[in-house]
Amino acid sequence: MDKIPILRMGAFLLVTIQVDLYDRLALNLESDLIQMVDKTRAKGVLIDISAVSIVDSFMGRIIGNIASMSRIMDAQTVVVGMQPAVAITLIELGLPLKGVHTALNVEKGMDLLKSMIDLEEEDEDQDLTEDDLIAE
Amino acid sequence: MILSLSKDTIEVVKEQDVVFTKNRVKEVAVRIKMGLVNQTRLITAASELLRNMMRYANGGKCTIEVVSSGRTNGIRLTFTDKGPGIPDIAKAMEDGFSTGKSLGLGLPGTKRLVNEFDIRSNVGEGTTVTIIKWANG
């Protein structure tokens, strides 16, 4: 049985899909990834689909599911490297992948994840100072 | 007038057959020099229809043909199953309608991806979907 490896990089999980997805593989990735987010307390998930040449409605839905599930688990998801032909096909199919953050490549995706997580931390800092003020 | 230049039929029963069929469609598309975006549209359409066949009819047959309209070549795919059939085709072709748990994009989405789309279904007998994608259409 094929398995898509999930790598841990600091607070992030990195998934590079190197084969064309089929339904069972995509479903396994979904559950493996969410379990890894829980186990490693990851703050961000980066999915590289640059080697994927076909994304149909089912796989598109799985990608959307991964993003929504991660968000509930307090992690952000960024999908990077989508091939132009795949983007064209997804839109024509009627699947705009709303709610999924995307970036052109891994480097830009990493920057986006870092900026999203930095923002969250800043928010927490602000909350703290507000609490401090109230305490005073 | 559409001429059939070559014909190949594949039985689709297991999930591996789905992967195999998609690869065969890809090979044929490359052979007739179909553009990359059209290849992607065609294989995505095939992927949707193969899934429908597996999910609702426990598999069926897929015929891959190279066809010619005289001016240009293309690929005709015919998906035939002996499943329960579709009672209301007009409804099944609506965006967002599904009797399963899916998004309901399969049939209407597939129609948008190809040049010609034909669906025939008889309840209790099965469903046949035929699509054509021209190499540069």
Asked if residue B121 lies in contact with residue B128, where contact means CB atoms within 8 angstroms, the answer is yes
The interface predicted TM-score (ipTM) is: 0.88
Put simply, whether B2 touches A (Cβ < 8 Å) is no
The pLDDT, as a whole number, for residue A129 is 57
Chain-chain contact of B40 with A85 (C-beta, under 8 angstroms): yes
In tens, the pLDDT along A59-84 reads 999 999 999 999 999 999 999 999 99
CATH of domain B3-134: 3.30.565.10
> Domains in chain A, ordered, with CATH?
6-135 (3.30.750.24)
Q: Where are the alpha helices (DSSP H) in B3-133?
A: 15-31, 36-57, 89-92, 106-113
Give the pLDDT band of residue A16 (cuts 50, 70, 90): very high
The pLDDT, as a whole number, for residue B53 is 94
In tens, the pLDDT along B64-97 reads 999 999 889 999 999 999 999 998 888 889 888 8
Asked if residue B93 lies in contact with residue B111, where contact means CB atoms within 8 angstroms, the answer is yes
Phi/psi for A105 (5° steps) reads -145, 180
| Chain B neighbors of A86, CB-CB under 8 A | 40
**Chain A from 81 to 100: CB within 8 A of any B CB:** 83-86, 88-89, 92-95
Calculate how close chain B gets to A41, using CA atoms only, in Å.
30
Q: Specify which residues A12 forms β-bridges with.
A: A9, A44
Calculate how close chain A gets to B124, using CA atoms only, in Å.
26
Domains of chain B, residue spans:
3-134
